[in-house]
Chains A and B, each alone.
Chain A
Amino acid sequence: MTEDLTATTNRDVQSGSDNGEYERESVPESRLKGLRSFIGMYAGEHAAGTEFAIGPLFVAHGVTAFDVIVGLLLGNLMAVLSWRFMCAPIAVRVKQTLYYQLERICGVNLVSLYNLANGLMFCFLAGAMIAVSATAVGIPFNMQMPALGDWLPNSIGWIIAVFAVGAVISIVAAKGYDAVARFANIASPWMVLVFLACGIAALPSLGVHSPADFWVVAKKIVWTGAPIEGQSKYTFWHVFCFAWFCNLAMHVGMADLSIFRFAKKASYGYASAAGMYVGHYMAWISAALLYAVQLQNNPADTAVAPGPMAVNIAGLAGAVCVIIAGWTTANPTIYRAGLALQIIFRKWSRFRVTLITGAIATIGAIFPALVMKLLDFVALYGMILMPMGTVIFIDFWVLPKLGMKRFYAEVTGTSFNWAAGAAWILTLCCYWILYVQFHIANFFLFIPGWFIAAVLYIIGSKLYQKPSLA
């Protein structure tokens, strides 16, 4: 018997669709979007405020020029292939949000736990983007920027700037995906070129007056291989793995099921390359060049403050770019957080839940550590959420081949799929063991973690699923 991947769709439609975001039903054919929507969205989302922070942080952690140029090239390729071959194929077949699909697999209680973790992680990620924008908003007021080692807010001005930016971003995010995508589509071509312009215009200040000068300057001045005092040393593998897992929650973790459910075919997963090679290659390199100019002007000024860095080279346009870059990424991130938390707060409107997630993000943004420790936060965020993406992958492709049922919670009516829950929690425990006992750095844990989660879910399902349902 052919399994209906969209089994719940008709019942939901008959009971009345929700507010047009298809949160609990499959996206109808008439609402699918063309490739350009995804290219624009990815280019806009990944040419973001956090790119202004990540590029400099690699410099601060003492990577070499080879580490960056080659490591980012290959790591971003792995990310694109992960979107294309792991996330998009399931998204275009089922056409449902990550959260609804997880509910069908895991049950409403387990997915509530996941969504709480997911929503909070997205909130804090959006907070980092709000903080980036705030560094630009504060410039006209001579706001003192947080330092590289700051964990707590350093001034009232910083707090006010963060709250102002957070409030505006949250209200726009609450309006819905179409409004967000429209603004990002308009802003993204300009933003991308501002990133490019910043990098090129910074070159003369670093002593690059011809292409032949670039590699020498890159090795001796920009990416020297020596970390700034107080920062740990990163290698090629840190850069490669970071570029791959930077959006781990989205591709292998399957959060972008919620995005690609609007795609006409799985090959639209390649649209992620627009984000990776524009945002996570060109923009990171450009931002690193801006930081190198700042360090060259004043070696003691190690603060990673995107606003002043951009203004130094691109003036007011640079400041506006930093604000918009943070905005266009915080918006979909807060939107995703709203989707995640709404599965817990079902009776609340999406508008209300999104405003609340924006508020949480804004409070997180007050703490500069969210930006200064962004690389570690991104690693943690991906690791925590990835195992459920593994559950979705195995549930869709592997369980039927082993004679087991997909969407087990929906089939049985259970609210907690213990096989999925055990796979998630035990994988997190394994992370801890690998980190503490075997001293494997957090940047590298996701690779064994995926396989651990896969094996645990298969074994757990074999033990948990009733044979009579096969």
Chain B
Amino acid sequence: MKTVLKGISYIALLGTFVPAILVWAGTIQLETHKIIMIIAMVLWFVTAPFWMKK
């Protein structure tokens, strides 16, 4: 389960900065970027506390 949560967390981190690169490349719009960042933020904070060491 921890492995799954960790995987989701890493996907969340990718979802935090990769969309910005896509905006720069002209692949997606800024508004789409904002929506993806919200999803990534929620995923990160919901999953990271369960596996990040104290």
What is the interface of chain A, defined by CB distance below 8 A to chain B?
36, 178, 182, 185-187, 189-190, 193-194, 196-201, 203-204, 208-209, 313-318, 320
Interface residues of B in 1-54 (CB under 8 A from A): 12-13, 16-17, 19-21, 23-24, 26, 30-31, 33-35, 37-38, 40-41, 44-45, 48-49, 52-54
A318 to B37, CA, bound (A): 8
B26 touches A194 (CB 8 A): no
Instruction: Write out the residue numbers on chain A whose beta carbons fall within 8 Å of the beta carbon of B52.
Output: 185-186
Chain B residue with minimal CB distance to A201? B20
Partner of B24, one of A182, A187, A200, A316: A200
**B54 CB, min distance to chain A CBs, angstroms:** 6
Chain A residue with Cβ nearest B52? A186
5 A-B contact pairs sorted by A residue (CB < 8 Å) = A36-B53, A190-B16, A190-B45, A193-B16, A201-B33
Count of A-B residue pairs with CB < 8 Å: 76
The contact of B34 among A36, A187, A317, by CB within 8 Å, is A317
Pair A197/B19 contact, Cβ less than 8 Å: yes
B38 and A190 contact, CB distance less than 8 A: no
A178 to B35, CA, bound (A): 33
Residues of A within 8 A of B26 (CB): 204, 209
Indicate if the CB atoms of A316 and B38 lie closer than 8 Å. yes
B48 contacts which chain A residues (CB < 8 A)?
186, 189-190
A172 CB to closest chain B CB (Å) equals 15
Determine how close the nearest CB of chain A comes to the CB of B26; give it in whole angstroms. 7
In the bound complex, do residue B35 and residue A315 qualify as a contact, i.e. CB atoms below 8 Å apart? yes
The CA of A201 and the CA of B30, in the complex, are separated in Å by: 8
**Bound CA span A208–B31, Å:** 19
* Residues of the A chain whose Cβ atoms lie less than 8 Å from the Cβ of B16: 190, 193-194, 197, 317
Q: Is the CB of B19 within 8 A of A190?
A: no
Within the complex, the shortest CB–CB distance from B22 to chain A, in Å, comes to 9
Is there an interface contact between A320 and B20, defined as CB atoms closer than 8 Å?
no
Q: What is the distance, in angstroms, from B43's C-beta to the closest C-beta of chain A?
A: 10
B49 touches A190 (CB 8 A): no
Q: Are B34 and A196 in contact (CB under 8 A)?
A: no
Contacts of A317 in B (CB 8 A): 16, 34, 37-38, 40-41
| Closest Cβ–Cβ distance, residue A55 to chain B (whole Å) | 17
B37 touches A200 (CB 8 A): no
CB contacts (< 8 Å) of A178 on chain B: these are 54
Can you name the residue of chain B whose Cβ is closest to the Cβ of A181? B54
* Alpha-carbon distance A189/B45, docked complex (angstroms): 11
Please tell me which one of the listed residues B20, B44, B45, B49 contacts residue A200 in the complex, with CB atoms under 8 A apart: B20
Bound together, the chains give a CA A189 to CA B38 distance in angstroms of 15
Q: A186-B49, A313-B30 are in contact. Are A196 and B17 (CB under 8 A)?
A: yes
Assess the A198–B54 pair: CB atoms within 8 A: no
* B17 lies within 8 A of A197 (CB): yes
CB distance from A118 to the nearest CB of B (A): 29
> In the complex, A204→B54 CA distance in Å?
39
Q: In whole angstroms, how far apart are the Cα atoms of A203 and B21 in the complex?
A: 10
Tell me if A204 and B24 are in contact (CB < 8 A): yes
- In angstroms, Cα B12 to Cα A288, docked, is 26
Contacts of A190 in B (CB 8 A): 12-13, 16, 41, 44-45, 48
Closest to A199 in B: B20
Contacts of B38 in A (CB 8 A): 315-317
Query: What is the CA–CA distance of A314 and B15 in the complex, to the nearest angstrom?
Result: 12
The 9 closest A-B pairs by CB, nearest first: A315-B34, A317-B37, A197-B20, A200-B20, A201-B20, A193-B16, A193-B17, A197-B17, A201-B23
Which residues of the partner chain A approach B41 to less than 8 Å between Cβ atoms? 190, 316-317, 320
- A204: chain B residues at CB < 8 Å are 23-24, 26
Chain A residue contacts of B12, Cβ below 8 A: 190
Partner of B54, one of A182, A189, A197, A200: A182
Residues of B within 8 A of A200 (CB): 17, 20-21, 23-24
Q: Which residues of A contact B19 (CB under 8 A)?
A: 197, 201
Query: When A186-B48, A313-B30 are in contact, do A201 and B24 touch as well, CB less than 8 Å?
Result: yes
Cα A100 to Cα B38 with chains together (Å): 44
Beyond known contacts A315-B35, A315-B37: 7 more, CB 8 A cutoff: A190-B44, A194-B17, A200-B24, A201-B33, A208-B24, A314-B34, A317-B41
A54 CB → nearest B CB, Å: 21
Output the least CB separation between A293 and chain B (Å): 11
Question: Bound complex: CA of A189 vs CA of B49, how far in Å?
Answer: 12
